[in-house]
């Protein structure tokens, strides 16, 4: 999974779960440690995520559960 696909998957999850419009950017930075370039942001469209992405997201939430409260 490359960074562009990761962001597209994040856009899908954002829409599906009703997260804040900036959530996809924040979760991208959580994994890659940088912000997505503006050119890639403009090209991105939501894509249904694969299990690899969903597993990473689940593990991230589990590890950071108490920092979200």
Assign residue 21 a region (left: φ > 0; alpha: ψ between -120 and 50; beta: otherwise): alpha
pLDDT-derived band at 65, boundaries 50, 70, 90: confident
Q: What are the tokens at 66? A: 């108490």
Q: What are the tokens at 26? A: 């924040």
Other beta carbons within 10 angstroms of residue 37's beta carbon come to 11
pTM, two decimal places: 0.88
Per-residue model confidence as pLDDT tens digits over 1-31 = 899 999 999 999 999 999 999 999 999 999 9
Domain parsing of the chain, residue ranges: 3-67
């Amino acid at each position: 999974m490359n960074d562009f696909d990761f962001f597209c998957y994040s856009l899908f999850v954002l829409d599906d779960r009703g997260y804040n419009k900036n959530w996809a950017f924040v979760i991208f930075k959580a994994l890659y440690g940088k912000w997505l370039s503006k050119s890639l942001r403009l090209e991105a469209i939501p894509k249904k995520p694969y299990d690899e992405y969903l597993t990473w997201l689940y593990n991230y939430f589990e590890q950071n559960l108490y920092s979200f409260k």
